[in-house]
Amino acid sequence: MATEIPYNRELDFEYGKVDELGLRIRRVIARNPSAFTFHGTGTYILGRGQVAIVDPGPDLAEHVDALLDAIRGETVSHILVTHTHTDHSPAVKAVQAATGAPSYAYGPHGTRPEDGASEGGADYDFTPDHVVGDGDVITGNGWSVEALHTPGHCSNHLCFRLREEDALFCGDHVMGWSTSIVSPPDGNMADYMASLEKVGKFGASRYFPTHGAPIEEPEPYVKALLAHRHEREAQIMAELANGPATIAEMVPRMYAAVDPKLYPAAARSVLAHLIHMVETGRVKADGDVYRLFAN
């Protein structure tokens, strides 16, 4: 029987308005809804008076203005970026221009167009002012965050734990309304599953994804996500037991309950699973696995 993931697709909010989510946690949601962003990018404000901003979001003037209005009279000391997708990091420039605050992230996007690996949705323009590694601690006025490197969805993905509230800002690594897409070449399924194991052991009482509502019981939720990924690989093995098959043939059967508009994204995750399965010896492929299964 398939694992039931306890999704929460309820979210009470208003675009451009600041939501109070904790003593040191506020959020403003950008008006960039889509099949991948849910209602839009949730930009978080940590602290009071002298604050950090987590994931400034897309380059939308309306959103930047709302964010700056939410912190009027306060000082921005840090800009924290979970990863370099175009719904997370492009607004860093505008926020920096208004506040002068430095940016903190794991690094620029992991694949580069000049290497022949241009990806849709990647922000190739962003490079952090300060490089943050796994376990690094960033401190501000009345708050501190510990960085957790969680590659998989993106090779440079970080989660940030606000230690004073035992809250994990988990970007797109864990989302409460949907599973996360893992799209090669920068997305890596082996890394993603290992990172899920990592956050599950790390511990935090509440997760704040960039998209959707907070996750109130993260430990069983992460376990359900991991079980779901293992079930997807079992599905692939069952598909291949009937003979060679392309991803285009497998996806409609594997994702029968999903809107066909999401099949291209599902195909990328199936590709990521197949690469992982070839690398671990469970599936054999003649030639380059990425090229072989990409069609």
The span from the CA of 244 to the CA of 160, in Å, is 42
The span from the CA of 102 to the CA of 108, in Å, is 15
Residue 27 pLDDT > 80: yes
Reported pTM:
0.94
Residue 295 pLDDT > 50: no
Place of tokens 């093995």: 237
Closest CA to 71 of 22, 12, 26: 26
Give the pLDDT confidence of 53-89 residue by residue, as tens digits: 999 999 999 999 999 999 999 999 999 999 999 999 9
**pLDDT reported for residue 44:** 98
Q: How confident is the model at residue 262 (pLDDT cuts 50, 70, 90)?
A: confident
**pLDDT reported for residue 293:** 46
Q: Which of 110-124, 185-199, 224-238 has the lowest mean pLDDT?
A: 110-124
The span from the CA of 294 to the CA of 271, in Å, is 7
The span from the CA of 198 to the CA of 213, in Å, is 22
Closest CA to 60 of 15, 26, 100: 15
Distance between start and end Cα atoms, the chain:
30
- Cβ–Cβ under 8 Å, residues 166 and 254: no
Q: Higher-confidence residue: 244 or 4?
A: 4
The span from the CA of 159 to the CA of 133, in Å, is 11
**Mean pLDDT (the chain, rounded):** 93
**pLDDT reported for residue 120:** 78
Residue 105 pLDDT > 90: yes
Phi, psi of 19 (to 5 degrees): -105, 135
**Cα-Cα-Cα-Cα dihedral of 11, 16, 18, 19, to 10°?**
0
Go through 115-140 and write b for each residue having 16 or more CB atoms within 10 A of its CB, e for each that does not.
Answer: eeeebeebbeebebeeebeeebebeb
Closest CA to 130 of 89, 90, 101, 91: 101
Residue 51 pLDDT > 90: yes
Residue 153 pLDDT > 80: yes
- Cβ–Cβ under 8 Å, residues 272 and 189: yes
Residue 266 pLDDT > 70: yes
**pLDDT reported for residue 294:** 46
Q: How confident is the model at residue 116 (pLDDT cuts 50, 70, 90)?
A: low
Q: Where are the domains of the chain?
A: 18-226, 244-293
| Superfamily for the 18-226 domain | Ribonuclease Z/Hydroxyacylglutathione hydrolase-like (3.60.15.10)
Q: How confident is the model at residue 289 (pLDDT cuts 50, 70, 90)?
A: low
Say which DSSP state 108 is in.
S
- Per cent of the chain over pLDDT 70 is 95
Q: Higher-confidence residue: 244 or 135?
A: 135
- Cβ–Cβ under 8 Å, residues 168 and 132: no
Residue 232 pLDDT > 90: yes
- Cβ–Cβ under 8 Å, residues 94 and 56: yes
